[in-house]
Structure 1
């Protein structure tokens, strides 16, 4: 069994002349996965006591980490 590394491609962007991004979205996915491994269990425990705070913690990788990393790398 071969497990490949996921490659994310975003086309139609105006951040570079090629109008496609590969490195930024791929690294953003890796950062998203790393943050999610830590934050989702923590958010689930916090959700038991404070619903809104737990939801914000669990949404953090998708709402903050992925977009910031993807925008930071223009290629």
Structure 2
């Protein structure tokens, strides 16, 4: 028997909602991060061969821009 697991991200101790716990925002943020990383990391490694700083910024984009903006946009 094969089980399928669902990754759920939980962030507790936040002041953005009354229960002080977020579940939907971090989970959707992680999914958006993974989707952006699938595209941007291979392209970033190719760009890194020619322009080091530009390639580093492209590879860091999912972690520094995509994940925080999606997570903070959803207060639940």
Q: Which bin holds the TM-score, normalised by the shorter protein?
A: over 0.9
**Structure 1: 4+ residue segments shifted above 3 A:** none
Aligned match of 1:7: 8
Q: C-alpha root-mean-square deviation of aligned residues, in Å?
A: 0.6
Q: Give the deviation of 1:5 after TM superposition.
A: 1.6
- How many residue pairs get aligned? The number is 75
**C-alpha deviations, 1:19-44, integer Å up to 9, x for none?**
00000000000000000000000000
Tell me the distance in 2 between the aligned counterparts of 1:18 and 1:60. 30
Tell me the distance in 1 between the aligned counterparts of 2:19 and 2:47. 43
Query: Which segments of 5 or more consecutive residues in structure 2 lack a partner in the other structure?
Result: none
TM-score normalised to structure 1 length = 0.97
